[in-house]
Structure 1
Amino acid sequence: MKTIRPFGTRGLILILAPALGISVGFASPAFAQAFREVPVIVNPDGKVTDLGTLGGFFSNGYGINDSGQVVGESATTRGERHAFITGPDGMGMTDLGTLGGSFSAAYGINDSGQVVGESATTRGERHAFITGPGGMGMTDLGTLGGSSSSATGINDSGQVVGWYRTTGDFGYHAFIIGPGGMGMTDLGTLGGSSSSASGINDSGQVVGWSYTTGGEGHAFITGPDGMGMTDLGTLGGNFSVASGINDSGQVAGYSATTGGETHAFITGPGGMGMTDLGTLGGSYSYASGINDSGQVVGWSDATGGARHAFITGPDGMGMTYLTSFADLPDRVYDALGINNQGQVIALSVPEPASYALMLAGLGLVSFMARGKKLPGNNQSALS
């Protein structure tokens, strides 16, 4: 199956640049600023922290721990994409480097500051990595025989989850690794050819998605330490994806509905029961993260079709606009993570008025869903 990775703002830049007669590598400062895509931390008190970049014109934040350290990827002054870590409350961005290649991205962080993600190697392969506490030192986690792997989550004991390409590169399987990056174990599938893990809690319960024997992609949960994969079902449609899990085993993600829409969901403790979180008025919503009180974050379209970040109350109650907590000058269109302090990582871009003239007549007026870390993590690839 071909992996489809939807694009965000920087994808629009790459598409638009030839039509506008612009070389992206040498874009003017004004052009770069107009399309600047950066993560922000939105605090419960409404304070907003702009995380900035590593010198380039965009960055993305994917994981946050309870001290507010954020990890993700950023464009550098050399035009490469590198993983980063910040200090507490998002202060100060540090380049984590690579495994020898020109690319790396960080997807998860635990409370001691161990970071996991993926990086290009000197051979041009993509391998999962782990760092020491505080983001110190990048170690290649290897694969189980295939050419690539990616680490997507880590718990406080240092257990790591992700996915790896199987031998022959005909599919990919979810994996779990013991504390400190020791020993990669294949978690199998729900009967189909491929699976991928997206999150792990402190008891070692893993969530993600897998193909079933019937060929559908379904969300799954395992028991402690990755033992036993259980199908979480769907909201009535033909696919679902689990994005995150908290320490009581509540799972957040998204699923096709009986009406053909895609809605965010939350389960009860231990993955029991799937509840539709609805939308902000439109047809689609996607949950990206959950904290231990059951607050869920993600994005949804509104009645007019515009995409907005959302947050819920405890146990997924009451979906509301993230901007209701803060007065933001930019458009906050996605929320990717939330910690137990209620700090949310969100992605912002300038309001459309700042670059509307550049887009006029090109017909590209909205941002597609972001595929950040799961192979096939989108409706087109799973349905």
Structure 2
Amino acid sequence: MCNHYKKLLILIAAATLFLSGCGSSNNSPAAPGVTNPVGITVAPIDDNNSATPPAVFAVPAAINDSNQIVGSAEAEAGGVLKPTFWLVDDEGAATVSPTAMVTVVVDGFAAAHDINAAGVIVGNAANIDTSLRAVVWGDKDAAPALLNNLAGGFFAAAYGINDTGRIVGTSENIDGLLQAVRWQRAVDGTLTGPSLLPGVPAGWEAEANAVNADNHVAGELVDAAGISHAVVWKWDGVSYTALNLTVPVGFDHAVALDLNSPAPDQPLLVVGEVSDDGLSGLTHAVRWSIDAGNNITVTDLGTTDRSSSASAVNNAGRAAGWENNASAVSLATSWNNPTGKATLIATDSQAFDINNNNLVVGRSASQGFVKLAN
């Protein structure tokens, strides 16, 4: 699929780069700003072994409204990334030490991508047969349970989970094409699925990146020519319908990365990125607003000559992601609804998620960060 802002690829690509050295909230938006001028470092795992090189890399992927954070971190420098759990207070200060979660294969790859209000975590992991499987952890201390792949597929990943146990992600089919799928985790832990999300033409690929409280799903379709199309799968209580999202003039590709859970009288907000295959080669952060009649308004959040991406949005409409500076260095950024913008960290960084307490998590150089924006 196209090189878009997928959580799995972010974690792996960021690790490779730096290790080699190269919910509900107040709906009245405040002016963007940062109350914490530096941000709290989200630490790597301490293996309490003086014989191993100290760990240097950690990156959080998601934060829930209880300020529980999941992502990936080293236990020793250059070691295999482990799925990791952190907990912070409302100011972003750590309240527990980083916790390495259980993997399917001892010392094998695994990554945690999302966590719901109950502390149920989803991601993917290397299996004993060397396939990469979508997995779910019942909590930070639980062993991972394997989610079924599509028949004949080698790869799957779970990227999002809501509070009713709806899980979304992608799974490879027997033809080697990635398809957008959903699973369900019942209260007793019973797992069902995968079920294909509809509206994907034959020969196309698809990925589901996030699911909200109403079971609506944000993602992308990739056609036979390699063009990405942002999509929201709307849930009517019985089935899904694919809604293709419009692209601003001058851009070729689009991907929807996250969506919020709005109040009944508010539009659904979806964020992501659009990109251009032309001479500019730019990527821009974008926000779509979808009303009750499925009328779509698209807003380009980007700066004309700089790349950017919006990876998350909360229920108040605050978005988080990154925008390049004049030197083409990415800086963690937040956008207020509708147009306000603030730089969260003024050095190389990217924001990956924001909760309804306005805590933002992401990467700053080779370390994770959590920062309060308001």
TM-score interval w.r.t. the shorter chain?
Answer: 0.7 to 0.9
What is the TM-score with the length of structure 2 in the denominator?
Answer: 0.77
Task: Look up the equivalent residue of 1:334 and give its one-letter code.
Answer: Q
Q: 1:283: Cα distance to partner?
A: 1.9
* Contact 1:235/1:256 (<8 A) preserved: no
User: Counterparts of 2:234 and 2:366 in 1: how far apart (Å)?
Assistant: 43
Q: 1:349: Cα distance to partner?
A: 2.2
Deviations 1:9-61 (A, max 9, x none): 64254375xxxxxxxxxxxxxxxxxxxxxxxxxx9631732220124220111
Give the 5 Å matches for 1:150-161: 150-161=157-168
Task: Look up the equivalent residue of 1:262 and give its one-letter code.
Answer: T
- In structure 2, stretches of 5+ residues that fail to align are 23-32, 47-54, 263-267, 368-374
**Aligned residues: percent identity?**
24
Give the 5 Å matches for 1:97-246: 97-100=102-105, 102-134=108-140, 136-145=142-151, 146-168=153-175, 170-180=176-186, 181-191=191-201, 192-212=203-223, 215-224=226-235, 227-236=240-249, 237-246=251-260
- In structure 1, stretches of 5+ residues that fail to align are 17-42, 352-383
Give the 5 Å matches for 1:208-287: 208-212=219-223, 215-224=226-235, 227-236=240-249, 237-248=251-262, 249-256=268-275, 260-270=281-291, 272-279=296-303, 282-287=305-310
User: Counterparts of 1:345 and 1:153 in 2: how far apart (Å)?
Assistant: 16
Q: 1:228: Cα distance to partner?
A: 1.3
Task: Look up the equivalent residue of 1:85 and give its one-letter code.
Answer: F
What is the number of residues matched between the two proteins?
316
User: Counterparts of 1:194 and 1:256 in 2: how far apart (Å)?
Assistant: 18
User: Counterparts of 1:311 and 1:231 in 2: how far apart (Å)?
Assistant: 25
* Contact 1:85/1:135 (<8 A) preserved: no
The DSSP-based 3-state class of the residue aligned with 1:8 is: helix
Q: Tell me which of the two structures has the higher relative contact order, counting C-alpha pairs closer than 8 angstroms and 6 or more residues apart.
A: 2
Give the 5 Å matches for 1:1-383: 5=9, 7-8=13-14, 10-14=16-20, 45-46=35-36, 48-55=39-46, 56-77=55-76, 79-89=79-89, 90-91=94-95, 92-100=97-105, 102-134=108-140, 136-145=142-151, 146-168=153-175, 170-180=176-186, 181-191=191-201, 192-212=203-223, 215-224=226-235, 227-236=240-249, 237-248=251-262, 249-256=268-275, 260-270=281-291, 272-279=296-303, 282-313=305-336, 315-323=337-345, 331-349=347-365
The DSSP-based 3-state class of the residue aligned with 1:142 is: coil
The DSSP-based 3-state class of the residue aligned with 1:11 is: helix
Deviations 1:172-194 (A, max 9, x none): 00111123332221114542520
Change (3 A) 1:135 1:63: farther
Task: Look up the equivalent residue of 1:255 and give its one-letter code.
Answer: V
* Contact 2:332/2:351 (<8 A) preserved: yes
User: Counterparts of 1:85 and 1:167 in 2: how far apart (Å)?
Assistant: 34
Residue number in structure 2 paired with 1:365: none
The DSSP-based 3-state class of the residue aligned with 2:35 is: coil
User: Counterparts of 1:85 and 1:350 in 2: how far apart (Å)?
Assistant: 17
What is the TM-score with the length of structure 1 in the denominator?
Answer: 0.75
The structure richer in helix per residue is 1
User: Counterparts of 1:2 and 1:238 in 2: how far apart (Å)?
Assistant: 12
The DSSP-based 3-state class of the residue aligned with 2:204 is: strand
* Contact 1:177/1:184 (<8 A) preserved: yes
Change (3 A) 1:66 1:263: same
User: Counterparts of 1:44 and 1:15 in 2: how far apart (Å)?
Assistant: 30
User: Counterparts of 2:57 and 2:209 in 1: how far apart (Å)?
Assistant: 24
Change (3 A) 1:148 1:215: closer
Task: Look up the equivalent residue of 2:84 and give its one-letter code.
Answer: F
Change (3 A) 1:305 1:177: same
The DSSP-based 3-state class of the residue aligned with 2:74 is: strand
Task: Look up the equivalent residue of 1:46 and give its one-letter code.
Answer: N
Task: Look up the equivalent residue of 2:45 and give its one-letter code.
Answer: L
Change (3 A) 1:274 1:53: same
User: Counterparts of 1:213 and 1:9 in 2: how far apart (Å)?
Assistant: 31
Task: Look up the equivalent residue of 1:183 and give its one-letter code.
Answer: G
Task: Look up the equivalent residue of 1:154 and give its one-letter code.
Answer: I
Task: Look up the equivalent residue of 1:267 and give its one-letter code.
Answer: W
Change (3 A) 1:350 1:154: closer
